[in-house]
Amino acid sequence: MDRKTLTAAFPHTIPVLMGYLSIGVVFGWMMSAAGFAPVWSAVMSVSIYAGSGQYLGVELLSSAAPLADAAFLTLIINFRHLVYGLSMLEKFQGMGWRRAYMIFSLTDETYALLSGVQAPDGVDEKRFYLAIAVLDHLYWIAGSILGAAAGSMIAIDTEGIDFAMTALFLVIAVEQWRANTCHAPVLLGAAGTLACLLAFGPDNGRFLIPALAILVAGLLLMRPRLERLETSPEGGEIP
């Protein structure tokens, strides 16, 4: 990758640099606190490359979760990526061999950057996108390794550090709450999952399977209403 493209891409990625370094450090630290060598944090950040997915991964690894449970939970947590792909179909067209990497590295933050930026004059658009994707990935890997190294060297009581995953989801939920006028899906998600938790118990998170079915069914039932709200000029809120 040439210097010119990198120089053009770097300023756009500074917010992600701050975010990924810190969230990556927390991830690496959680891994070390759970007793895994730093090399595993690095392997995960290179090969999985998903913030919330890897936070969940720490939990799956520390509880030695069965592979099928791990697959299901990872699927649920990353379900939103399906949406990102849908809006990047055109952007990634004609990227050749780079397309596979662009798809692999389509995290929330990279998606947000790619949706908003434009390559400056004289810089090839496709290379510019690739530079952004690669830089973000490197920040994430660097953060994880830093955190894992710090966690394995600094001896403090880390009990409770796993709460970072809960905090991350709460932050995402607050942002979504603010971005959307209609909160019915959130309330459905909370109520449906809570009902399944009470009915099936917390073991292995398997109550999420019926919960997901309820959410999809509930959303399909609400479809006429939600789509009307979405297209009505006033926006409007479900009472």
Partner 1 sequence: MTITQIAALIAVMAVVTFSTRALPFLLFGRGGKPPKVVLYLGRFLPPAVIAMLIVYCYRSVSFTAVSGWAPAFIAGAAVVSLHLWKKNDMLSIVGGTILYMVLVQVVF
Please report, as residue ranges, which positions from 107 to 136 form the binding site for partner 1 (by CB under 8 A): none
Query: Could you say which residues in the range 161-190 bind partner 1, by CB under 8 A?
Result: 161, 163-177, 180, 183, 185-190
Could you count the other beta carbons within 10 Å of the beta carbon of residue 186?
13
Indicate the residue among 89 and 153 with the shorter CB distance to partner 1.
89
Indicate the residue among 4 and 78 with the shorter CB distance to partner 1.
78
From the list 70, 117, 150, 209, which residue makes contact with partner 1 (rule: CB under 8 A)? 70
From the list 1, 14, 227, 238, which residue makes contact with partner 1 (rule: CB under 8 A)? 227
Q: How far apart are CA 109 and CA 133, in angstroms?
A: 10
Indicate the residue among 5 and 147 with the shorter CB distance to partner 1.
147
CB of 148 to partner 1, least distance (A): 14
From the list 1, 14, 83, 221, which residue makes contact with partner 1 (rule: CB under 8 A)? 83
State the alpha helices, DSSP H only, in the chain.
Answer: 3-33, 38-47, 51-62, 67-77, 81-88, 98-104, 108-116, 125-153, 163-179, 184-200, 208-231
Q: How far apart are CA 237 and CA 230, in angstroms?
A: 10
| Six-digit token string for 143 | 């953060």
| Six-digit token string for 23 | 């969230």
CB of 120 to partner 1, least distance (A): 27
